[in-house]
A and B are shown apart, each in its own frame.
Chain A
């Protein structure tokens, strides 16, 4: 397996009226070719900002303070705008959460879809339209040729998300970043979209980064999962290891707090006390400390780095925690 994308120590912060918001605080991860990586976390944990930073699609108030993102020998955070445009859409495609606001409402589907094909692949307009129609059918929209003349408002939410997926895959990117693509959709439509992405992944072999807050969606889709909290990666593991043997107190609590559709637990949900963290100061202690059941003295003075989980065979199971939850859980 070759490493396709290597992100090291990424830091992004936002300038606000009273100082800064520390959104991403030193995120490092690797993405292998053809692999599906799930990124899980609550709102405001920095999962979207991390991915937007890679493509430098951040709003003006945000600045990347530190880090490297190596993709095919070039650092995405350093290359100039012209080089970056060759990567966006061509090598790395992106699907956003809300298909209504990410499609241009006054341009028809055909024209929007042809744009990347003309720009990146040098097709002429008839070729691009022809290809767009094929892509729409591949994404499960019947009679793609006729849909090219439609405007986004004429399509339903699920259809629009299919258009977004077809568009993101138009140039056969090596990486597809999907930012909560099913959150705005109903469960039955979500199931359709997830099935579609699985099929296309097997067909095209693109690596996928799937951002979500739903631990259920990611379970059947991802090979590896990264859990984020307060702008830090707190746990990273193969999907089976993460669900069977979670090691970070936050992951443990998150999995326990989920109500289940397949069984009645009949007892209270194990909720996580407190509220999500305030990001206006960079913590010098563990960011999960105020809500953690297992905290020890060391947690108050030092922020734990991401390191291999103690006592785990899986080589790539890493956590950012001083405490061995497994050991403490038994005592």
Chain B
């Protein structure tokens, strides 16, 4: 899908989420985890926005905060010109129907004591999306949509494999007739051969229902396949954002370059010849993030200003944003 023909669906403006770290029995405030610090991006209708980064970089927090499952510390999230961060829980309820989430682990997200039919019917009842007599038919329709046989409707989650469970989670998200779905690492717990099935399913459903996805993942190959736009996060901040081909062909941020170079390619000849940028060290702690550019302690190109001055989040060419001192 092209950026030009889609209106902005979600607008995220300097979204910030800090978590307090509490100590002892009385919960004294000991420190703050800077999980998300001033993240801004737009998601256009009908497109798939990818969010990538290493574990602990705040990509899941971003997804949850956009959906108001975490209330942000600062910043705004606009959906259809409404600022979700200002709404009360009760006012949010009808909007939640339009925004759903699929989690990573299909084993722990389904209630083991509920039949899958019951689990899928619940959101339909809560949001009054079908008359009582139509619910059963609607559940069967949803199961068919995600490629499961409707005769399984009375079975329990433990009777299904991981891939099938992820299909059930997708059916439950679809039951609300959403516009926007946050996919939080939906395929990383699945086997390679099943991953491809779920990715294809997500693409089919997007086409059929005109869905908009925020696709959170750490697997760059999957992101390249499914996303239209990709944003790279590092330690709570955006490092780079661009249309996917731009980002993968000509990455500007040294972190994006290192990340891409670290991905192994299933081609032995290419692998042996490859010159890797191997980053040294680990991701620093988000409790005490480095000053200036958060990437500077590991950056191969770091120079003096990097340690002191925050790099500005600026647009290099239309749609291609980066936060780095080296190119400005």
Interface residues, chain A, with chain B CB atoms under 8 Å away: 42-43, 156-159, 186-192, 194-195, 213-217, 219-221, 239-240, 243, 253-255, 257-262, 264-265, 268-273, 275-276
A220 touches B271 (CB 8 A): yes
The 3 lowest CB-CB distance pairs between A and B, nearest first, are: A220-B271, A216-B264, A271-B196
Interface string of B147-175 (1 = CB under 8 A from A): 00000000000000101100000000000
- Shortest A162–chain B CB gap in Å is 11
Cα-based distance from A188 to B260 in the complex (angstroms): 9
- Shortest A173–chain B CB gap in Å is 25
B272 touches A273 (CB 8 A): no
Cα-based distance from A219 to B268 in the complex (angstroms): 4
Question: Contacts A186-B55, A195-B278: A275 and B194 contacting too (C-beta < 8 A)?
Answer: yes
Q: Does B307 contact A (CB under 8 A)?
A: no
B164 touches A216 (CB 8 A): no
Cα-based distance from A261 to B200 in the complex (angstroms): 17
- Shortest B164–chain A CB gap in Å is 7
Q: Does B221 contact A (CB under 8 A)?
A: yes
Nearest A residue to B255 by beta-carbon distance?
A188
| B218 contact set on A, CB distance < 8 A | 186-187
Q: Does B258 contact A (CB under 8 A)?
A: yes
Q: Does B314 contact A (CB under 8 A)?
A: no
| A195 contact set on B, CB distance < 8 A | 276, 278
B265 touches A219 (CB 8 A): yes
Q: Which B247-263 residues have C-beta < 8 A from chain A?
A: 248, 258-263
Nearest B residue to A240 by beta-carbon distance?
B268
| B32 contact set on A, CB distance < 8 A | none
Question: Contacts A258-B221, A261-B260: A159 and B282 contacting too (C-beta < 8 A)?
Answer: yes
Cα-based distance from A221 to B261 in the complex (angstroms): 16
A257 touches B266 (CB 8 A): no
A219 touches B263 (CB 8 A): no
A191 touches B266 (CB 8 A): no
| A240 contact set on B, CB distance < 8 A | 268-269
Nearest B residue to A216 by beta-carbon distance?
B264
Taking A240-B269, A261-B224, A264-B248 as known contacts, 13 extra A-B pairs with beta carbons closer than 8 A to each other, sorted by chain A number, are: A157-B282, A187-B218, A187-B220, A188-B258, A190-B262, A213-B191, A215-B192, A216-B263, A219-B267, A254-B192, A259-B224, A264-B224, A264-B244
Nearest A residue to B201 by beta-carbon distance?
A271
Q: Does B199 contact A (CB under 8 A)?
A: yes
Question: Contacts A188-B258, A271-B200: A253 and B193 contacting too (C-beta < 8 A)?
Answer: yes
Q: Does B203 contact A (CB under 8 A)?
A: yes
| A259 contact set on B, CB distance < 8 A | 196, 199, 221-222, 224-226
B191 touches A276 (CB 8 A): yes
Nearest A residue to B55 by beta-carbon distance?
A186
- Shortest B313–chain A CB gap in Å is 22
Q: Does B93 contact A (CB under 8 A)?
A: no
Q: Which of B194, B196, B264 contacts A214 (CB 8 A)?
A: B264
Nearest A residue to B52 by beta-carbon distance?
A187
Q: Does B127 contact A (CB under 8 A)?
A: no
B197 touches A271 (CB 8 A): yes
Nearest B residue to A258 by beta-carbon distance?
B266
| B263 contact set on A, CB distance < 8 A | 187, 216, 261
Q: List 23 A-B contacts (CB under 8 A).
A: A42-B191, A42-B192, A188-B54, A188-B259, A190-B262, A195-B276, A216-B221, A220-B264, A220-B268, A220-B274, A240-B269, A257-B196, A261-B224, A261-B248, A261-B260, A264-B225, A264-B248, A269-B200, A271-B199, A272-B193, A272-B194, A272-B196, A275-B164
- Shortest A50–chain B CB gap in Å is 18
| B260 contact set on A, CB distance < 8 A | 261
Q: Does B279 contact A (CB under 8 A)?
A: yes
A265 touches B191 (CB 8 A): no
Cα-based distance from A187 to B257 in the complex (angstroms): 12
B282 touches A268 (CB 8 A): no
| A271 contact set on B, CB distance < 8 A | 193-194, 196-197, 199-200
- Shortest B277–chain A CB gap in Å is 9
A257 touches B193 (CB 8 A): yes
- Shortest A253–chain B CB gap in Å is 7
Q: Which B213-238 residues have C-beta < 8 A from chain A?
A: 218, 220-222, 224-226
| A253 contact set on B, CB distance < 8 A | 193
Cα-based distance from A215 to B192 in the complex (angstroms): 9
B264 touches A192 (CB 8 A): no
Cα-based distance from A219 to B270 in the complex (angstroms): 9
| A262 contact set on B, CB distance < 8 A | 248, 265, 270
B192 touches A213 (CB 8 A): yes
Cα-based distance from A53 to B191 in the complex (angstroms): 23
Nearest A residue to B276 by beta-carbon distance?
A191
Cα-based distance from A255 to B193 in the complex (angstroms): 9
Q: Which of B193, B224, B259, B272 contacts A42 (CB 8 A)?
A: B193
B191 touches A217 (CB 8 A): no
- Shortest B47–chain A CB gap in Å is 15
